[in-house]
Structure 1
């Protein structure tokens, strides 16, 4: 009986964790609404004022084909992992002096977490994983 109870509690906890992650990505989509003025993401994403953001996490900075990056961004040597993106989005001009990105920064840690969860869903082709 104990084993059945433990298995049930474990299954419910796993479902809650998955649901919380989905909620984070959904909240991140709302945060991304502010980014849409310059960036696109998804299967039909194109470069605009800023580069498209498909497959951002794991991508080398300044590497989206067809986008005219600043020399600062192209030569930054950065690869967008979660920690680097979090630092950048908090204060882009401090992380990459000379960047063309005109965004004051996202200071709210929860919104940053949600945004990262949203962005991580998209592979390099724009498909949700």
Structure 2
């Protein structure tokens, strides 16, 4: 195994470990401050959609599709053309996320009805989630 590969493997492994530890701290903080009641339910339902998009765009299909295209672009074109491509993609990505965010804000009541249908019966949970 080359030294560069070993260093990269240790970096990724170390950062994954840090991520898991900070996730544990986050979960402990949620349990401490939100408990297991109304506010915790509202919080977790409200964050289902953003977490779904995070998984797709940051950890999933978008990365799997974009990285090979970027690598191909980087090996075939000049640094200026690669920068222009990245600027174009970042602008389009930002625009798509802006539109999805606005749709989510406007459609929050409908989204809550779909994601957590039982919340409609409990107006306090429903309003805490929508707001």
TM-score above 0.5: no
User: TM-score scaled by structure 1?
Assistant: 0.32
Structure ranking higher in helix proportion: 2
Q: Which has the larger radius of gyration?
A: 2
